[in-house]
Amino acid sequence: MRKRTWLQTRRWLFALAILLACGHALADADADYAELLALFGEFRSIVPPERVDGVPDYSEAAMSARFDKLEALRARLDAIDDSDWPIGRRVDYTLVLAEMRGLEFQHKVVRPWARDPAFYSTTNLGFGPKMDGAMAIPTPPLDDSEASELETRLAAVPAVLAAARRNLKHPRGDLARLGITQKRIEVNVYTRLADDLQADRPALARRARAAAEATREFMQWLESIEADLPAHGGVGRDNYNWLLKHVLLFPYSWEDMQVIGQREYERSLVFLKLEEHRHADIPMIEPATTMAEFERRRADADRDLLEFLERKNIMTVPEWLEPPEPEGPYILPADRDPLKPGPFEAPIDRHFFREAEDRDPRPLRAHNLPGHLLDSLMLARDDRPIRGERRLFFISGTRAEGWAFYLEELIQQTGFLEGRPKAREINYILQAKRAARVLPELRLHDNSWTYDEALESLTSRTPYWMGPDDAIARFDLELYLRQPGYGIGYYVGKVQLESLFAEVALQRERDFSLKAFHDEFLAAGVMPISLIRWEMTGDGAQIEAMRDAPPL
């Protein structure tokens, strides 16, 4: 065996030292990532409030204690240096940071437990953000286990609403009025539940009536104070911009979106009128008038849509993405009011989305089937320890709504609606409506418009099918006031996705593949598009600016 020279030995020792150093660095990085995972778990554990006798504790003392825990966790997160980590792990770090800042924003700005009476929804009927532990209303008959759980939850309702009155130190007028509408429906829900339980479980029926009475008293208290409350419920423009940039990781400001929203609104109206001009001699499709006809149209649309996406190599359609069982029209919280007639009981009262879907469901099925349903099923299959979790504080909202809305225009531009001229018009009506709601959210949150002023803007600027009392318009604006970032997420989220599309297309030139782009985009996970952009392009400058936040 030939002996090494002194120079060879020195080179070998140097290489060994490098390998050992790299090994230590990798071990340190793995230890830091393990600390990030532990921090994430600890953080998620403090988000739900403590419970006292079955009542979530949103008192000032409890919220102050939770904020102290948050600050301790943030200090530990700040001590982790992820600058040398691979991009995928840096994305995970940024998600944890964004969620911690989301909870900080809740404590310092939104404070729904002190400002928003609608936050204390004891039923999970779909009223936007709500307190922890809101109950799903079961359908009798109930087995003993179901009855026992329901009794515990019903028994807590009077105490929950009594605590709410103590906690609501700074209620706002617009938010109180939304709470009154919500409570009126919950009174009817609890009353109907009591009637349904009376024969088989009279003791449980008494609990339901007590819950209805406590809800009615809370509603009456709100009615007695709402006229004297400060009207506006927005977070303020500076806070809104901080949220967009440092929690939602969104690259556009309030000011940017005012311009973008107006331009997109004008574009949608122009294209709508061009379509109407092309097909002026063809009448608009009549809406379905029975549930059977509605479900037939929807089933046809779902089948055709998935086949088209696969056949045209637009995106991979997983075998587990199957159209849902018949589910009926789009359900709003107000539709769950037992005093309201069924969707096809005469006279049929259609809100805006039903006016569209009852005629041709294809545009909205693109939004909901390869959009929201695919996202939900992918997330359920995503076992990555951080990004595979459902995001808190609407952090992935602009990604979810932007993708779903992007699909509506995609089917228009790729030919799915060829031969369906009125479906193309419906698509542009939907686009105009989505663009028309950008400005109301912005004005609600800079506190220059009240809820009623925002409602007037949305309903008057939507071209068709939206009167001043449209249920969708009212529901939308409730969400946008109570969940900042929701209303702008559809249209401006789509604009952000299109920006990424253009950037990747320019990078790949002739090698660009529509299917590969969509598959890569979806594989990244349900998280902010700015993070997906970082992974797909390698450019982290946008995210670095978002991570460096001034004090709130």
- pLDDT on residue 8: 55
- Domain end, chosen from 185, 205, 228, is at 228
456 with 504, same domain: the answer is yes
143 with 61, same domain: the answer is no
d(CA 109, CA 76): 23
- pLDDT on residue 327: 82
71 with 171, same domain: the answer is no
Q: Measured at the alpha carbon of residue 357, what is the angle toward residues 351 and 362, in degrees to the nearest 5?
A: 155
What is the residue range of 189's domain?
A: 117-228
Structural domain includes residue 284? yes
Structural domain includes residue 410? yes
Structural domain includes residue 294? yes
Helix-helix angle 438-445:254-278, to 10 degrees: 160
- pLDDT on residue 22: 47
Contacts (Cβ under 8 Å, ≥6 apart) of 418? none
- CB-hemisphere CA count at 13 Å for 407? 27
Q: Which candidate, 175, 195, 256, places its Cα nearest to that of 483?
A: 175
167 with 191, same domain: the answer is yes
Q: Which candidate, 125, 111, 128, 132, places its Cα nearest to that of 50?
A: 132
- pLDDT on residue 26: 57
418 with 291, same domain: the answer is yes
d(CA 241, CA 245): 6
Mean pLDDT of the chain: 94
Cβ atoms within 10 Å, residue 96? 20
Q: Is the dihedral of CA 198, 203, 208, 209 positive or negative?
A: positive
Structural domain includes residue 533? yes
Contacts (Cβ under 8 Å, ≥6 apart) of 507? 537
Structural domain includes residue 339? no
- pLDDT on residue 14: 53
d(CA 449, CA 453): 6
480 with 523, same domain: the answer is yes
Structural domain includes residue 10? no
Structural domain includes residue 279? yes
92 with 129, same domain: the answer is no
d(CA 218, CA 51): 21
- Domain end, chosen from 110, 142, 162, is at 110
d(CA 253, CA 259): 10
77 with 121, same domain: the answer is no
Instruction: Tell me the pLDDT of the chain (552 aa) as tens digits.
Output: 445 555 455 555 555 555 555 455 556 679 999 999 999 999 999 999 999 998 999 999 999 999 999 999 999 999 999 999 999 999 999 999 999 999 999 999 999 999 999 999 999 998 889 999 999 999 999 999 999 999 999 999 999 999 999 999 999 999 999 999 999 999 999 999 999 999 999 999 999 999 999 999 999 999 999 999 999 999 999 999 999 999 999 999 999 999 999 999 999 999 999 999 999 999 999 999 999 999 999 999 999 999 999 999 999 999 999 998 888 998 898 888 999 999 999 999 999 999 999 999 999 999 999 999 999 999 999 999 999 999 999 999 999 999 999 999 999 999 999 999 999 999 999 999 999 999 999 999 999 999 999 999 999 999 999 999 999 999 999 999 999 999 999 999 999 999 999 999 999 999 999 999 999 999 999 999 999 999 999 999 999 999 999 999
User: Assign residue 232 a region: left if phi > 0, alpha if psi is -120 to 50, beta otherwise?
Assistant: beta
Helix-then-strand count for the chain, H and E: 22, 2
- pTM passes above 0.85: yes
364 with 471, same domain: the answer is yes
Q: Which candidate, 487, 503, 496, 491, places its Cα nearest to that of 267?
A: 491
- pLDDT on residue 127: 83
Please answer whether residues 442 and 481 qualify as being in contact, where contact means their C-beta atoms are separated by less than 8 angstroms: no
In total, how many domains does the chain have?
3
379 with 493, same domain: the answer is yes
d(CA 426, CA 424): 5
Structural domain includes residue 403? yes
Longest dimension (CA), the chain: 98
- Domain end, chosen from 110, 142, 171, is at 110
For 486, the 3-state DSSP assignment is helix
Amino acid making up residue 148: S
Contacts (Cβ under 8 Å, ≥6 apart) of 184? 219
d(CA 353, CA 224): 34
372 with 435, same domain: the answer is yes
Cis before 202? omega within 30? no
For 471, the 3-state DSSP assignment is helix
Helix-helix angle 438-445:486-508, to 10 degrees: 120
d(CA 294, CA 260): 35
For 131, the 3-state DSSP assignment is coil
388 with 515, same domain: the answer is yes
Cis before 141? omega within 30? yes
List C-alpha distances in Å: 405 to 129, 371, 430, 495: 22, 8, 10, 10
